[in-house]
Amino acid sequence: MSIEECEGWEAGTSEAVLRECLNTFPHIRMRVTGTCMAPDLHPGDIVSIASPARRPPKWGDIVLVRNQDGLRLHRLVWRWPFASDRFPWLTKADHSVHCDPRVSSANLLGTVVLIGGASPAARMENAWFGKTARSLMAGLIAWGQGRLFSWSSSA
């Protein structure tokens, strides 16, 4: 899922407004536009997102992150138990084989708390094992590729 810049706004303005709304309100609602997170998220689904301060992300959650391609809703597949910028986070689209580039905590904007009126846990209750296995495998693959502890490139 991506968020486009609002027409007539300077680059980054819509993200600044989004960050302010996440800090001010209990959650915000957004419409999904991509297919990379199917079957959990489909184009047109409405998701509610809470700031990390209100709902700290956990391993396996769908999170809103800023990466080099813009703002994305992807799954959190690796998180050091004591999150800090020294130990970045890894996210991945469910339909992707590869993890996204490392994400610093400053670039993790929020956690999906509702999908179309149902909590992600309730919506994915029957698929829990598959999601957990995929997240674990993605983390192990990233570890095997040396992406978890290689600090030479920027997060």
Burial of 72 (0-12, 13-18, 19+ CB in 10 A): buried
- Each residue's pLDDT tens digit, 37-58: 988 888 889 999 999 999 998 8
CA 140 to chain centre: 18
pLDDT of residue 21: 92
Looking at per-residue pLDDT, the higher value among 144 and 98 belongs to 98
Every domain of the chain and the residues it spans:
13-144
Q: What is the pLDDT of residues 126-138, one digit of tens each?
A: 454 556 666 666 7
**C-alpha distances in Å from residue 96, one per residue of 10, 99, 110, 153:** 31, 7, 21, 22
Rounded CA separation 25/1 (Å): 22
Residue of 73, 61, 94 whose CA lies nearest to 1? 73
Query: What pLDDT is stored for residue 25 in this prediction?
Result: 94
Secondary structure (3-state) at 51? coil
The region, left, alpha or beta by phi > 0 then psi within -120 to 50, assigned to residue 120 is alpha
- Report the predicted TM-score, pTM, of the whole model to 2 decimal places: 0.71
Fold of 13-144: Umud Fragment, subunit A (2.10.109)
